[in-house]
Structure 1
Amino acid sequence: MPYVNIKVTDEGVTPEQKRQLIAGTTQLLVEVLNKSPSTTFVLIEEVNTDNWGIGYQTVSEL
């Protein structure tokens, strides 16, 4: 039962893009690991850019 957690910044990811991420991730696990789609879980977390840092700055600052 695979569980994949995808984290992205909350900068306008559309519902269609999320569907594509879920479908593509699931298909990859089916093809590579022979996992069942019915037991494959994909979670997408949107992180506020104030809470995501690169180097010494937040993404909001960059």
Structure 2
Amino acid sequence: MPYVNIKVTNEGVTSEQKQQLIEGATKLLQDVLGKNPATTFVIIEEVETDNWGIAGEQVTKIRKRKENEKDI
């Protein structure tokens, strides 16, 4: 009974994109490990960018800085 947890920032992932992720992860486990899709669970969690950090910095601040650099 595989369990896949996909975490993404909450920056506009559509329902259709989530469906593609669920289908793709399920198919990957079936193709690579021979797992039964009927018992494969895929969970998608959306995380606030304030709660996601890269290289010691919040994604919110990184995005804001990149937007400001475009304006220059």
Pick the TM interval, shorter chain.
over 0.9
Structure 2 residues without counterparts, runs of 5 or longer = 63-72
Structure with greater proportional strand content: 1
Runs of 4+ residues deviating >3 angstroms: none
Structure richer in helix, relative to its length: 2
> TM-score, normalized by length of structure 2?
0.84
Stretches of structure 1 that go unaligned for 5 or more consecutive residues are: none
Task: Check if 1:26 corresponds to 2:23.
Answer: no
Q: Which has the larger radius of gyration?
A: 2
Structure ranking higher on relative contact order (CA contacts 8 Å, 6+ apart)? 1
Paired residue total: 62
Cα distance in 1 between the residues matched to 2:50 and 2:29 = 32
Alignment identity in percent? 68
1:56 is displaced (CA, Å) by 2.0
